[in-house]
Amino acid sequence: MAGKIMKGGEFLIAESDCQDIFTPEDFTDEQRAIAETTEQFVENEILPHLEEIEEQNFEHVVEGMRKCGELGLLMMDAPEEEGGLELDKATSMLVGEKISTSGSFSVAFAAHTGIGTLPLIYYGTPEQKEKYLEKIITGEWCSAYCLTEPGSGSDALGAQASAILSEDGQYYILNGTKQYITNGGFAELFTIFAKIDKQHFTAFLVEKSFEGLIVGNEEKKMGIKGSSTTQIILDNCKVPVENVLGEIGKGHKIAFNSLNIGRFKLGAGVTGAAKMALAEGIQYANERKQFNRPIASFGAIQEKIADLTASIYASESLVYRLAGLLDDKLATIDKGIDDYYVQYQKGIEEYAPECGISKVFCSEVLAKTVDEVVQIFGGYGYCSEYPAERYYRDERINRIFEGTNEINRLLITGMILRRSMKGELPLQAEAMKAFEALMTPSFDEVDESIPFIAEKTTLQNLKTLFLILAGSGVQKYMDKLADEQEILMASSDIVIQIFAIESAVLRAEKIIDKLSEAKQEQLKAAVKVFTFNATEAAASAARKGAYFVEEGDTLTMILSGVRRFTKYDATGLLQAKRTLAAAASEAEKYIF
């Protein structure tokens, strides 16, 4: 366990020690064995049926889920006393990463093991768990989660589905329509949200066999075609009163806490998908010849491979750093206490900003990866006979799943600022120091002997820049800042890049001495390439944010700060990109 457990969002105002973070190099032999089991399952049981799954022959998905249950892959989060394995989040995320290579099957798996199972584990009564949990974690039944409606997506609490207690007091009668339900076509158990008496937002456990539950037609989707996505129609659906999940009127807690978990698990899944897509792109670039040379030998292609490798390294570093934060926090909770899962949920909620960062950053790394892989394939990338075309279509949903990236951007900075206003994070005091730094020219000498000092200096400057912009926004708008979405999103773009750079640097600092000389050079190259790209992205967001918030002399001053605090000495950048590209091209895969 780490020596110091940081609060959520605290990375913006405090330095982390590289020894306190979890990295992929810290996986145990047991974790690696589970990962290998998952990889073999995908290769042996799913990939041979991939085309049939894409044609919506869902019997292969259902059978695959049963085999996952036999292997224990569906019970990682379930308590041991209830038949589960109760493994840590790092293991759960590692399995999510490895299952991601299974195409549409991974969507069914993620929905089942995440939002389809966890509400029951965290909020179910002993009787509910006894009745349903074994079926779910063995794969006998598939599960689904029904929150979105035709008229309410991001505004989940605006749902119109209703529940009225029957005259005999034995049932709730549910009416309404749920939209975009993953696993809808073959799930046997649904977690459905509805408002009792059109007022009290509440969750219900609803079996497919219950009278009045109707499964709609399959949606005709752009991508993830092999996943089931339907409406669930509630036509006077009779749900026994004992199937209320959690407390009446407290459904929002179940909905939002389930989404936090979905966000960090999605971060791991899309990271695995990015690795797979990159490998396909590199292999094709090595085979495809133009002008009598493999296109992988051209600088234009090498730069793509280098940038993608560096971004995926950052994505992977960020995801497993978050896994470590969650596991360290959850390990401090006494399992013997009566309200264990209440405290457990609070432990996960502590890192809601980082969960949002993981979801946004990692999904956008995958988006960039599949886009460039199509480009590497050229015209063939646009043809369905080649894998690049499916990767491109399948990727798009990840920026909508688990709360859109726009909603997550609003939440990241919004949650951090709310914690500051409650006194949970001393951002205001740090913002004052940041404004002082803006007014004071800096002539600090850099100690070149410190590993990754250029990146660490840039990182500290970016934190200062965020505090200046956030402080300006709060000063100008006060509690109305929540309505200034453009400012919040620009601020979050800076926060996202800060957490990503820091995760990449801390991991590199922790592992570099254990690597060969050649691997050290590749690692340094990845850090340099990513830090340069991320700093450029943060600088663009900061300039935009400055124009959004200020004008006149104050704007001029902040813009000068943007220039000053986004300087990064990326000397040797071209050679770093060539080093990365050469290593990745030789290995024909992601190299870290």
Instruction: Please give the positions annotated as active site.
Output: 402
Q: What is the C-alpha to C-alpha distance for residues 414 and 482, in angstroms, rounded to an integer?
A: 7
To which H or E segment does residue 364 belong?
helix 352-377
Q: What is the C-alpha to C-alpha distance for residues 183 and 461, in angstroms, rounded to an integer?
A: 46
Q: What is the C-alpha to C-alpha distance for residues 273 and 52, in angstroms, rounded to an integer?
A: 20
Phi-psi region of 107 (alpha: psi -120 to 50; beta: other; left: phi over 0): alpha
Q: Closest by alpha carbon to 528, among 499, 496, 570?
A: 570
Q: What is the C-alpha to C-alpha distance for residues 97 and 36, in angstroms, rounded to an integer?
A: 11
Q: What is the C-alpha to C-alpha distance for residues 47 and 54, in angstroms, rounded to an integer?
A: 11
Neighbours of 43 (CB within 10 A): 12
- Under DSSP, the state recorded for 588 is T
Q: Is the CB of residue 104 less than 8 Å from the CB of residue 53?
A: yes
Q: Closest by alpha carbon to 368, among 392, 386, 389, 387?
A: 392
Q: Closest by alpha carbon to 394, among 183, 180, 275, 224?
A: 224
- Which parts of 131-268 are beta strand (E)? 143-146, 162-165, 171-182, 189-196, 200-207, 213-218, 229-240, 244-245
Amino acid letter for position 496: I
Q: What is the C-alpha to C-alpha distance for residues 270 and 311, in angstroms, rounded to an integer?
A: 12
